Structure 1
């Protein structure tokens, strides 16, 4: 959590925002994975209630709310957004970073992150079919390097942990406006193979836009900086 938080706090360098990190290690440190899965909806509801409080007490607009979650946290973010939507407060965006597949692969859209949770829902898939969802479940689904294990610079030895973590590595790097993860729009990406792709100028990560919806493919470098398109600061 701390490693992820320190990188997302980089948002404060590039944008005028408030960043709130959620520590739910009380649940996630449980060795029973299915118990953690079962608590995800509760955690999401707690987050939703807190955001609801901020809206009531500070004048925060749901259009200013962007929820970001990795793995099981992606689904917790989805549940938070669902809670707020049920209160008539649909948030602007949810970003799911390699949403967890184990424990959710048979779940319906009400039981996991889904494309209708926010006005814009984007996902980054990096260990599809292993620790992460292989199929598109968002409005914009990005498949860097095909979206599967093994991501460049990772190996099979860790059973996908490195590849799973690459989703937040890529996303955190994309906060820097000079590091562009330029993607191709594709008809589909199946088993890591992209089909019928075109260059529309879509960007993966923090600068992703609802102007570009569908399935996207791109390649990255094997080590940081991962983006292949790095521009000079203005």
Structure 2
């Protein structure tokens, strides 16, 4: 037990290394999940070993970090139910609220959250709140944390009730931006808020895994906000191929291998690059709302004809986007300009949200940002997912070293 105590203390000290630094999407100013996730998971496991009852109390450690134009780099921690703290903060009821919700193994100080925060504050006056549930998300068992998503979302709803009650902020002016499991937390929160409704839910590569087998009452669904939109970039490993999660579903590069992966940002694990791509595409769309033009896909009927996905029945509880099947036709709907190109009929993401309906396809550039092609949709062959490819293993230096050992 003494060894657990020593290791726990050491990891706790290391985990606090960013608390006093400038928080931004710059090297050294945000947490690299490649190193921090393993550290935090181990820290939590050590905590659980020292105090098994702690697992039942993790819900108490949720945190709401506020960033505004007045404090763009240093968080002000809001406390649900504490009106004094809210009034003494830089929260401004005249500004829209954007709440970022990370996923499994995520945390508020991750580089991906920094990117979202920086994007919003670069285009206007916003109350950007990063919802930190890392006390639960840093868990080696996804099934275990999934059982707490309802409780987590309930706390989020109570927090937004508090904001509404204390400041008069309208629920419609609140957007929830959820990545992975955070997308389902957003949806569950939307259900619990009824009859009120959040303005928008942006679901960034909503998680598959456990949620693949759940009905609409237990995961993200199209009616969980006034408008719901999902961006799918990893339908084979960590993401979800369901086209019925939201009112509009964007399958970027068919939702498979993203051309800039793996390790595009060096901030996440290589195998999760496709999964995090949705987040960075969204960040670009906040700055450039017309960066990601897309074309509407149609579902083919049994007689071979095509019908718009936006007009197809929404009663189906589950529908996969399977590019290998004959079910979907994503050819240009407004005429081909040149070979493999057409003009966009809708745009993914953006601020403020522009409601759409249906299933959409688009491709992206293979290099570093900007990723979007703007108003042009370029058809690209589907590439395999990148989760079996590692930029470390495939690095020439390491490959040469490994070959000498074989």
TM-score w.r.t. structure 2 length?
Answer: 0.52
Look up the match of 1:75.
184
Residues 44-83 of structure 1: matches in 2 within 5 Å?
A: 44-83=153-192
Look up the match of 2:322.
191
Given candidates 339, 342, 363, the residue that maps to 1:219 is 363
Look up the match of 1:135.
242
The reply to whether residue 100 of structure 1 matches residue 234 of structure 2 is no
Given candidates 141, 154, 158, the residue that maps to 2:261 is 154
Look up the match of 1:202.
346
The reply to whether residue 43 of structure 1 matches residue 188 of structure 2 is no
User: CA separation of 1:60/1:178 partners in 2, compared to 1, >3 Å: closer, same or farther?
Assistant: closer
Deviation at 1:15, TM superposition (A): 2.5
Distance 2:202 2:247 in 1: 10
SS in 1 for 2:295: strand
Look up the match of 1:114.
221
Q: Which of the two has higher C-alpha Rg?
A: 2
Distance 1:4 1:162 in 2: 12
Q: CA RMSD in A?
A: 2.1
Deviation at 1:66, TM superposition (A): 0.5
Deviation at 1:190, TM superposition (A): 3.6
TM-score w.r.t. structure 1 length?
Answer: 0.89
Deviation string for 1:165-192 (max 9, x for gaps)? Answer: 1010100111112761011111158424
Q: Is the 8 A contact 1:126 1:167 kept in 2?
A: yes
Look up the match of 2:137.
28
Distance 1:90 1:47 in 2: 13
Deviation string for 1:174-233 (max 9, x for gaps)? Answer: 1112761011111158424651442553111124521x2100000001232211229xxx
Q: Is the 8 A contact 1:144 1:219 kept in 2?
A: yes
Deviation at 1:29, TM superposition (A): 0.8
Distance 2:248 2:289 in 1: 22
Distance 1:76 1:190 in 2: 23
Moved more, 158-167 or 12-21: 158-167
Deviation at 1:159, TM superposition (A): 7.7
Moved over 4 A (4+): none
Number of aligned residues: 225
Given candidates 177, 180, 185, the residue that maps to 2:291 is 180
Distance 1:138 1:125 in 2: 11
